[in-house]
Amino acid sequence: MSSGDYVPTIHFSVVILTYNRQACLRHVLSDLATLRYPSIEVIVVDNNSEIPATVLQSEFPNFKFLKSNANIGTAARNIGFMQASGEYIVSLDDDLYGLTDQSLEALYRYFQDPKLGAVCFKVIEEATGTLTNWVHHRPAEVFENRSFPTYEITEGAVAFRKEAVARAGYYPETFFISHEGPDLAFRILDLGYEIVYVPDVSVVHSYSPHGRASWRNYYYDTRNTFWLVFRNCPFGFGSRLLIRQTGAMFIYSCRDGFFRWWLKGVYDGLLGLPEAIQHRRKMGRETMKRIWAMESDRPGLMYLIRRRLFQRGIKL
């Protein structure tokens, strides 16, 4: 599509969050520049990188570049979401590429269902060509090529109905990173929308560890579990979720030598409960029925022990 072509309606806004990964970002933007889909805009949100992402603006003059005044974590996605003109928002990390015109056409068809709030993509690891970033509570080897409802959101590989994410209140500003996906998902579901995983829309993860501290998962996963539960969950489901996830992180942190970060996560999680409770919107009964139905496919304890306990390290 030439710059002079008339674009009647912007269906999709592709919002990319970046931080200190200029080479990865250039790769993603070069990939997006090849798209021919007639109604798309690309928005880059720079999370206060040391070298601003705007240095690439001359290479990609048709893309919009925005900047956060500080590194505020995943909440910086909200900056791009609020500026988006599209009916649907595709959220990408700066090390994820491979979105195609066919993918956008498929997403547009999916979103013709007015109840659909978000679509999670399949993520393929660049180095191996295998599935990665699997966050859904189902056995990947059974479900990776099947569509299903979910209460997880793959934050850097997902498409939203803009109306749904705006009504849900966007990503929480206090989480920084980790569990912001299910927090937003719970609120989207509680508005009556659906969230699905689809295997026919996929992206490739080049996985750049730059800017990722080795302790961060053990700390943020633990801390934010407290806030996720107290912001959204009824007592029964919330208690189960809190015990399961903080217990798992305790085991991983002891195994990998990050126990003090787990302990700090517990301390800061409890310390932040008063603010989390201020934002509490407990999910309703009908929403919980849908979530419990999704839980019916959750793998058992022995499966998790075999798959995770002896797999050193946790990669997001």
More confident residue, 147 or 3: 147
Q: What per-residue confidence (pLDDT) applies to 2?
A: 45
Check: CB of residue 123 under 8 Å from CB of residue 157: yes
- What CA–CA distance (Å, rounded) separates 278 from 255? 35
Domain definitions of the chain by residue range: 12-205, 216-309
Claim: this prediction has a pTM higher than 0.85: yes
Whether residue 299 has pLDDT greater than 90: no
Mean pLDDT, residues 291-307: 78
pLDDT surpassing 50 at residue 255: yes
**Mean pLDDT, residues 129-155:** 94
Question: Average pLDDT, whole number, for the chain?
Answer: 92
> What pLDDT is attached to residue 171?
98
The answer to whether residue 291 scores a pLDDT higher than 70 is yes
Please classify residue 136 by burial: count the beta carbons closer than 10 Å to its beta carbon, then call 0-12 exposed, 13-18 middle and 19+ buried.
buried
Q: How far apart are CA 207 and CA 39, in angstroms?
A: 29
Q: Which of 127, 99, 115 is nearest to 201 (CA)?
A: 99
Instruction: Say if residue 20's pLDDT is above 70.
Output: yes
pLDDT of residue 9: 79
Give the per-residue pLDDT at 298.
87
Confidence of residue 146 (pLDDT cuts 50, 70, 90): very high
pLDDT tier for residue 307 given thresholds of 50, 70 and 90: low
The arithmetic mean of pLDDT across residues 264-273, rounded, is 98
- Find the mean pLDDT for residues 78-99: 97
pLDDT for 29:
98
Residue 3's pLDDT band (cuts 50, 70, 90): very low
User: Percent of the chain beyond pLDDT 90?
Assistant: 87
- Output the pLDDT for position 233: 98
pLDDT tens for 230-246 read 999 999 999 999 999 99
Say yes or no to pLDDT of 312 above 70: no
pLDDT digit string, tens, across residues 177-231 = 999 999 999 999 999 999 999 999 999 999 766 556 689 999 999 999 999 999 9
Question: Going by CATH, does the domain composed of 12-205 fall within 3.40.140.10?
Answer: no
* Percent of the chain residues topping a pLDDT of 70: 91
